Chain A
Amino acid sequence: MSKKVAFLQGNEACALGALYAGCRFFAGYPITPSTEVAEVMAKELPKVGGAFIQMEDEIAAMAAVIGASLTGIKSLTATSGPGFSLKQENLGYACITEVPCVIINVMRGGPSTGMPTGPSQSDVMQAKWGTHGDHPAICLVPASVQELFTETVRAFNLAEKYRTPVTVMPDEIVGHMRERIVFPEPGELPVINRTAPSVSPQSYQPYDTSFGDIPPLAAFGSGYRFHVTGLNKAQDGFPTTRADIVQAEEERQVRKIENAVDDIVTYEEYLLDDAEVVVIAFGSIARSARYAVNAARKNGIKAGLFRIITYWPFPDRQIRALAERAKAVIVPEMNLGMTVHEVRRCVEGRVPVSGIFRVDGEPISPNEIFARIQEVR
């Protein structure tokens, strides 16, 4: 039997990926260039018995998503730069309370209102450091319409498995491009649901670490009564200021992601085996980089591409390994230098790293990257 194929926009594929993953609640607020995610969810959720609500603002949308998820329903919101800034408050709340949810942030120019219809990759640091305090972060950066579908499914899986918010951040080009997509059959991609408590309601604690670093999460309304607060809390969910408990809980929340990098971190290696010039890119710019690498190979230059798919946790180990054999690293990105700092941190001066930065709303072309490959070879 042939698979279902369609010609879809990235944002549309994202919404359909969420539905495939079992998402049944969406709360959002209109914002360019992510609005199509909300529009598809508004149309599709009633068909599957889910609920869509357009909230009064971005903050409320993030809040409603957390509230809905606490009842055991997989929940999604979608936004872009200015909205992502507003969501940081309750994103932090989801981190400390460990409530699974997925946030789509289609990256546009900034800061502030910036360039609403222009592409950008300048929110990647905000995805990790945007909300105050120490907290874990998982952020996925797909590069195609197909991948926006599958990475949204994976985002839900990671959110549910690790009891944490996950951001999916296509740049505007990926969000708005139209491409062929092959729909996975039901059951073809894994769909993970959060671990329900195995203990009685009387002995349930929402942060019971006797079950490991990721304690089971009960659903409101399921017979388990418990307390959730944004204050630092003990294993029973109630606020505490006891130094040893606060330290241990904060460390556990970060550790639960750090210890799972092998499960979470994904990337694509293209012609890297003998590469002397390595281009590290993500999202739509990785597509330009692939063209540039191909052009370089045709010209006898040993170039390769490392494409970041999981931005946070950052692929530290893999990039460190690249530095052992590469002669030069190029980081093209649609910002004024963000990923380049992470790459330099990983390579620790063992190889020269240069960036190609654009924030003018234009993508970085294959020619620009190819020219740099020729310069640094």
Chain B
Amino acid sequence: MGFDYEKYIRPGKLPHIWCPGCGHGIVMKGLIRAIDALSLDKDKTAIVSGIGCASRLPGYMDFCTLHTTHGRGVAFATGIKMARPEMNVLCVGGDGDGVAIGGNHFIHACRRNIDMTYLIMNNNIYGMTGGQFSPTTPFGAKASTTPYGNPDPPFDIAKLAIGAGATFVARGTAFHAAQIEKLLIEAIRHKGFSVVEILDSCPTTYGRRNKFKSVVEMMNQLKESAVPVAAAEKMSPEQLEGKVLTGVLYKENKPEYVAEYGKLVTRVQESMAG
């Protein structure tokens, strides 16, 4: 018997809004499998998002779901986690949502090391609004607002997360479907702020402007550009040119914010009693 995805999908909410060839559905399946593997209690799990194609994911999922304002998902999620530390809090979104308009919330959640997992589906474009360049659109690429090529250098989301203090940072691709599940399992298990960036593709608004002939070609690019971190150690800088590292890129154990606040509360209350 195959995996029962329907256990986690809200009845009557499919089909999803994502275009044919979009990888977001693959990522959602990976998330469902990770949640299943970890046996997360649906009643005690919140899935929060901002605005954009990827941010529509929570609406399909049978959990406590919150589709918020553009870029603010992590800030709403912070309120939930602080108020109810016993809840599992997952946040999802895209590249524009997460590191452009939501960039400030993103870096501060990383710094705080608050226990939640942030899944970013990075397709290098604002898809929902028709293909404007995002902070991860490659230099020189075409978008509806870069008709002569993108003059902006892109962010590396994983490096940004590590630099800002996230204690678990991983990267995968929508092509490597099985790995998505594994990375998310490890990320959700991690006590602290975990970031999982999944490189994704938008054939509709990115691919057709940038001379990709098919969805398969875009998927193949994800496949060919990905290099697992272990393999990369044996490769020369020349061999790594144009490649992206995948797998767990960074992990450390540091004091987690909600747990530390809980200790503070205990300390204050003990000093009152004593």
Contact = CB atoms under 8 A, between A and B. Distances in A.
Interface of A: 24-25, 27, 46-47, 49, 51, 53, 55-57, 59-61, 63-71, 73, 75, 89-90, 93, 201, 220-231, 238-239
Shortest beta-carbon contacts, A-B, top 6:
A67-B79, A64-B79, A63-B75, A60-B75, A68-B83, A56-B108
Interface stretch (B26-34, B246-254, B262-270): B262-270
B69 A225 contact: no
Given A49-B265, A67-B75, A25 B83 contact: yes
* Interface-centre pick from A64, A70, A228, A231 (highest chain B CB count, 10 A): A64
24 contacts: A51-B261, A55-B108, A56-B105, A59-B75, A61-B75, A63-B76, A64-B75, A64-B79, A66-B79, A67-B48, A67-B76, A67-B77, A68-B79, A69-B79, A73-B84, A220-B66, A220-B87, A221-B87, A223-B43, A224-B64, A225-B42, A227-B67, A228-B67, A230-B68
Contacts of B82: 25, 27, 51, 53, 64, 68
Tell me the interface secondary structure of chain B in the complex. Answer: helix
B155 interface: no
A140 B271 CA distance: 37
Given A47-B268, A63-B105, A225-B65, 5 more contacts: A47-B272, A60-B108, A67-B66, A228-B67, A231-B67
A46 B273 CA distance: 13
Contacts of B72: 59-60, 63, 89-90
Interface string B22-65: 00000000000000000000111010100000000011001111
Interface residues of B, number: 39
Tell me the interface secondary structure of chain A in the complex. Answer: mixed
A74 to B, nearest CB: 10
A227 B9 CA distance: 13
* Interface-centre pick from B63, B69, B86, B264 (highest chain A CB count, 10 A): B69
B132 interface: no
Interface of B: 10, 13, 42-44, 46, 48, 58-59, 62-69, 72, 75-80, 82-84, 86-87, 104-105, 107-108, 261, 264-265, 268-269, 272
Contacts of B43: 201, 221-225
Contacts of A25: 79, 82-83
* Interface-centre pick from B48, B72, B77, B269 (highest chain A CB count, 10 A): B72
A90 B67 CA distance: 12
A183 B198 CA distance: 55
A220 B84 contact: yes
B75 A47 contact: no
Contacts of A221: 43-44, 46, 64, 84, 86-87
* Interface-centre pick from B76, B86, B268 (highest chain A CB count, 10 A): B76
Contacts of A46: 264-265, 268-269
Nearest to A238: B59
A35 to B, nearest CB: 19
A75 B79 contact: yes
Contacts of B76: 63-64, 66-67
B80 A68 contact: yes
Contacts of A66: 68, 76, 79
Contact of A228 (B66, B104, B264): B66
A51 B83 contact: yes
A206 to B, nearest CB: 11
A88 to B, nearest CB: 11
A363 B149 CA distance: 56
A56 B58 CA distance: 25
Contacts of B68: 63, 66, 90, 93, 230
A225 B75 contact: no
A71 B261 contact: no
Contacts of B86: 221
B64 A220 contact: yes
Contacts of A68: 79-80, 82-83
Given A46-B268, A56-B105, A67-B83, A239 B59 contact: yes
A61 B108 CA distance: 12
Contacts of B272: 47
Nearest to A56: B108
Nearest to A65: B79
Contacts of A51: 82-83, 261, 265
Contact of A73 (B44, B48, B83, B269): B83
A69 B58 CA distance: 19
Contact of A225 (B64, B77, B78, B269): B64
Contacts of B13: 238
Contacts of B59: 227, 229, 238-239
A46 B77 CA distance: 20
Contacts of B77: 67
B158 to A, nearest CB: 21
A55 B75 contact: yes
A61 B62 CA distance: 27
B63 to A, nearest CB: 6
B83 A230 contact: no
A71 B261 CA distance: 18
